[in-house]
Every structure is written in C-alpha cells, then in structure tokens.
Amino acid sequence: MKTVVIGSGSWGTALAQVLCDNNADVMIYGKAESEVEDINKNNQNSAYFGDLKINPGLKATTDFSQVVDSDIYLLAVPSFAIESVCAQINESATKPFLVITTAKGFHPKSFERMSVVIKDSFKDNPKFKEVISLIGPSHAEEVIQRMYTAINAVCENEEYAKEIQHLFSNQYLRVYTNTDVVGAEYGVALKNAIAIASGVISGLGCGDNTKAALLTRGLAEITRFGVACGGKMETYLGLCGLGDLIVTCTSVHSRNYQAGYAIGKADSATEFLATNTKTVEGINTIRAVYHMAKEMNIDMPIINIAYKVLFEGMKPSESLELLMNRKLVAESR
C-alpha cells in the first residue's frame, strides 16, 4: 500500500517518518524545493526541525506525477489549501484511494468541517473511497523525536479507521479509532480558539488559577457547541476534546497559543493581525463559531469575547473584566 504525504512542513514530515519507521511505502510531496532537497540529501528538514536527523529512508519529491498511483493521500496542509489539493488529486489519481486529513479547522468561507469539504470535493470521483481525520493532542516537534503520543483515526466507517490505526501505530505512536466524526472535528477545531485565549491570559501575566478556569470553562463551551451540532458528549472527554485542549493551551509549540500570547503582551490584536504571516487556524475558528453560535443561540462567552478582541478592537485586559463580571450562575456544561 503506497502513501503520499502532501505537505513537506513539520506535521507532514513527522507523520511521514512514522510510516517510514513502520516500513511502509511512503513519500512526501512538497512544493518547496529547498525542503525536499534537504530531506533527500541531508536527512533533515531544517526549516522546521533545525539539525535534527530524520529516518534516512524517507524521501520527498516536487513532482506530483510520481505519486498519482498512491492508495492513500495524507493531506498535511492548512485548511485553506485543502480544496486546491483535492482538485489536484481529482485530476491525477490513477486508482481507488483513501484520503487522510490532519487539518483542524473550518473552510474559511462556508465554515464547513474539513471532512465535509473533502467529501464534497470528491463527490463525482468514483475512485474516492473515504476520508479519515488523523487528529488529537500532538505536536510535530515531539512526534519527529519519537516521543510517546496518542491520537485518533476518525471515520464513520470503522473498518477504514482501523486500517489507518494499524498503519500508523507503533512503539511511540498509539492510534485509537473514533466514529464520532462531528464531535471529534469540532473538538479539535474549537480548542484552537481556546488556545488563543490561553495565550492571551499568559501574555497579560495571569496565573495558574486563571488558566485552570479558562480551560475548564473553555471545555464546557466546546462541549456545548459540539453536542448541539450532533457530536457525542463523551468525545469531549477524550483525545479530541480534553486531550487536544490541554496540549494546545499549555504548550509554546502551539501557533494559536503563541498568537494569543503576542496579543496579550501588546494588550491589542491590531499589530499581530497586521503583521502575522503564519497560519493560525484559531482565528478563523473564532470567526466561524461566533456566527454559528449566534444563529443557533448557543451560549459561548469566551468565544464571544475573543471575537471582540480580534475583530472589534477590544483590549484583552478589558475582555477579562467582562468575563469575570457576567451574571453569576450555577456551574453547568
């Protein structure tokens, strides 16, 4: 079974190495010639991992024609690039194939979940079999170093989920199957929004008490929203809920946390939004969930405040005061 990892960035390289460690037939496809050459000639991807050496058996290419006979296409690209990659596969795939996505966000315009976007992209392609989301609490910087990690293979078709589970699992990566696609995808997307808020309170100099309150009430909002959209409550106590929330809200590896930290330090989002060049999935997630929650009448106070900070010019320091001075209520999910 041949797998191509589309995307020569940090996560694509880390997951490709997992497959290479498992003696699977895998190749990375990337557009950045410097990264591809670095992988092939130096056994490293220094743009993301410095001088860390990777499995010498891992190879990469910039020639898409070399991978059109793949059985599995693993999309390790940001949410905004998913549709263009799917179009490329549609034009080129020569045999039946599965798609794996690692994206944790929404379509930038329709606000659809990534598996929905992917299925829609392939709805007229008889070669397309199914999409599996490979998601959960994981940083590429740790997986590339073979640190112990657990994630989910999420698919309504449990047999396909099991196939991917066995393909990726090894002594340092444990993959659990999950058939709650709606719940899992909303969980990993919304935690990016809470991670921005987590970075903000750190940037403002808040302490552990504040962080604990944010994560706990953030999980309540994620659960409330996800269940209203059709997800299962138990999913949010698992790897795609609580697990991903912890790792993203407490780690300096997280771009969403880093973004929030910069905003908190400046007590304003203006400069960050004007100068940022990196993909921060949580920004679009906050925009999407804010509007969806309003339409569905779902109480999302943290998301509402985060939206005001990002898009209406509210100071982060003022936002904390608003959150703390809301009407007093009983704790509930």
> Which residues are the active-site residues?
191
Rounded to 10 degrees, what is the CA torsion of 143, 144, 145, 151?
10
The distance of Cα 84 from the centroid of its chain, to the nearest Å, equals 18
According to DSSP, residue 55 is labeled -
Phi, psi angles (nearest 5°) of residue 8: -100, 25
Q: Helix 181-203 vs helix 281-296: angle between axes, to the nearest 10 degrees?
A: 110
Q: Is 125 exposed, middle or buried (0-12, 13-18, 19+ CB in 10 A)?
A: middle
Q: Which two tokens stand for residue 327?
A: 């009407």
**156: which residues sit within 8 A by CB, 6+ positions away?**
179, 181
According to DSSP, residue 185 is labeled H
Other residues' Cβ atoms within 10 Å of the Cβ of residue 252: 11
C-alpha count within 13 angstroms, C-beta hemisphere, residue 223: 16
d(CA 311, CA 314): 8
- Inter-residue contact 145 to 10 (CB < 8 Å): no
Residue 60: closest CA among 96, 17, 105:
17
